[in-house]
Structure formats: C-alpha cells, structure tokens
Structure 1
C-alpha cells in the first residue's frame, strides 16, 4: 500500500480542480451481468454496477474515476466496493494514437489490498477498424504477491450503416510470484491468456452489449483471495453515457 498511497493522494488532490476547470466531462453508468476484467470476475460471477467519470484536462490529459460493486468478492478480501483512479495522457499523430498513464485500485475496508499500475499503449485506425496494443504493468507490491504484466491486443469496428459494432481482444497475464495466495488475485492459475468477443448496439445515450469472455485458466488452487469464476461465460451489459 505504500506505493499506492502517493498516487491516490495526487489523483484525489487534482480531481476537484480539474472538474471545475474542464469541459466535456464524460459520465457513465453500467449494469452488467458479471464484472469481468482480464477474463476474471470481480463480482463473484454476479451482476454489478459500475459508475465512472472521465474529466479532460487540456488537449492531452484526462483524469478518471470508476466505482464498482464487488459483491464481497474474495479476490479483493471481501470488499463491497472497488475504486479505480487514473491519470492518462493521449496524443494523436495522424492515424496513430499514443497513450500512457497511471492507475490506482483501492478497495473499501481493505486498504492493504490496494495496488498501482502503469500503462502504455499505441493505437492505429485503418478505415473503420481501430487496433490497439497496450501493456499494463504493476510493479512488485505486497498486495498482489509480486509484480504483474498484462499485454492486450484489441480491435473494434463499426458495421457500416448500422448502430452495431464488433469488439474483440486477446490478452496475456504474467509476472513474478513472491506470495502465491496474493498473486492469485490477478493470476489464479499462474500465467494465462484471456479473450473477449462481443457485439454492441448503440442508441445514444444507451449502449447494449453482449460478449463471450473466457480464459485459459483451469482450476485455480484454493486460497483466501481466489474466486473460481474463471471459465468461459456470456456477459451482457447496458451502459448509460449522456
């Protein structure tokens, strides 16, 4: 938690003044049948609410905050709520987009399980197809039992003449393990692959989506921080983004 606290303090201090000065604030509210990240459930395989806001600051910097109902997930020590705070920089260079930033994760009642990550990405637009490659790295922290690297290749494309869009990604999680139980929070079966293939329908301001989400993880070893929701699952969601 020592590495997370300075990040949390910086983001919390900057957010109010940024919201006061910024225009184009982007709020959102999601209802999903299962909050899955990197193919793993963060809500015990149950429905969840996710509320978020993105605050642009200038032309390249944005601050974001997101709160998620975790349904007392063992993955995060039985916390009821999780919060993600981030500061991201993005710049467009023709059809290319470069991005990077820091992300902090905190959990109500379980401050010792908070952790921080850094992220870098590159995206390219080819006609209607957007392709993104990102790498997200969590340096060695006690909360996650070592370090963790997540590499993700994603693609999305709107279907011409329709309100539909196809989205897919393939990701890989790896890292060094110092504490098996805590490392199982992000890698319950060791290094693994995950995938997601979905279809979205947007009728502004609402988007409906359905996706197939799965992993190569098989049967994670029992532990305090292991939820067993790592198999393939069909997930549906509705998003309100005024």
Structure 2
C-alpha cells in the first residue's frame, strides 16, 4: 500500500526517533543527512544502527549522505548491516551509474531516490529505471529551488510533473511531495497537498508529527469519491456479466479503461480511512 505520511526525524536524536516510531506516520525517515550537523554524523549513524535492528517491513527508511560526502561509505556500511526491511533514502541523485553502484553495495534493499537538481530532473526516468531495487523517486525541493534559482511554486510545476510522469512510466508508486516547512500553517499545508494531489502526487513527507493528520486527510479520497469509484466498478462488472460493451454512469459519463483503473486506485486508497 502506498504510504501517505512519511515523517523525518534527525538520527542524532534517539528520543525523537523513538517518538516517531510510535507516531501515526506510515513511514519514519531517519535522517543522517541535512538534519544532522557534521559533528554529529557518527552519533546519528550509531543511533540508527542501534535503534533500527528489528523493525517491521517498510516502516523505516534511512536517508544517507550523498556519495560525494566523507560520510557516505560509513552510512552505506551501517545500512548494509541492518535488516532488508529498512529502506535507503538516497539524496541528490543525478546518474544511473550511482544508483547501480549503490544497489550493488546494498543488494536486495529498497532504494528511494531524491532528485534535487536540474540534471536529476532531466534524467528522472533514467534514474527511476536504473535498478529493480528502485522503489520510488521524488523531489528534494529545497535544493532544487536553489539550483533552478526559483522562489515561487510556478517554477517547480514542470519538475513536479516530470517526476510524476517518470515514476508512472517506470511502474513505480506515485511520488510523495517534499516537506512543507512552515509547521504552524496547516491551512497552507492542506492547500499545497491538494495542489500536489491534482498533479499526481500521493502522500507527503513531514518534519513535525503535527502535520501528519493534515497530510493524510488531504490525500485520502472523500466518501463521495470512493462511492463514485465503487459505482464505476459495479457498472463495469454488471456490463461484463450482461455482455454489454458501452457503459454510462448516472451523470451521463461513458466509461473507458482508464476510468476503471483509476476507480480501483481510489477504492484502494479509500480503504486506508
């Protein structure tokens, strides 16, 4: 099932890691990268090794430091010793070669790629298909804004759509949105999530537990949407039984294959309520 809420927590704060693991987040993202000062990198790595040794599948990802950093090799070695249930969140990815190298160093482990530069965006599909271990691809929008030299939302629209299309073309789950950094502005968060959902994103990373409910509510289909989706599936089933080729909904809309597939997706998401 696609996770809707992914909560970042700094690896050098074991108390916060424990709270995050006990929270309502679908996935906990233990961060060894941006949220951890250089002087605390080793401590964060040691904490991750100690705290993540026996967790249920899919509940945790570790964001490692980039391959160009002096911490990367130690991060990868630590992650390699953890159960395969712990995924690798890989920042600043720009080449398929680095994805394949990491896959070889972490055999069998799920890789979740973050695209944070113009070059990474241009290569989004190549990255998404670089290895069977790639499970998702998304944007790291703070660095991407800097690289593109844009401030407003408009400057990211093409990059957002590009990564949505790349994920779908590669057969991956829809990308999740980057974190909304104003933890007090829940109305702004909700509006931003709705805009992302309209572009094809499903779910979002959070930097505070207080954001989780708003994110989940924004990405879950409403009861009306689920009911409409169930009507689509019911009418298709009835038509198949009766040997009818064309099916119309009560509002006059004719069904096609794409509508049926989307209806199944909506019903599946609705079951997370």
- Using the size of structure 1 for normalisation, the TM-score is 0.31
- More relative contact order in 1 or in 2 (CA 8 Å, sep 6+)? 1
Whichever structure has more strand as a proportion of its residues is: 1
- Using the size of structure 2 for normalisation, the TM-score is 0.29
Rg bigger for which structure? 2
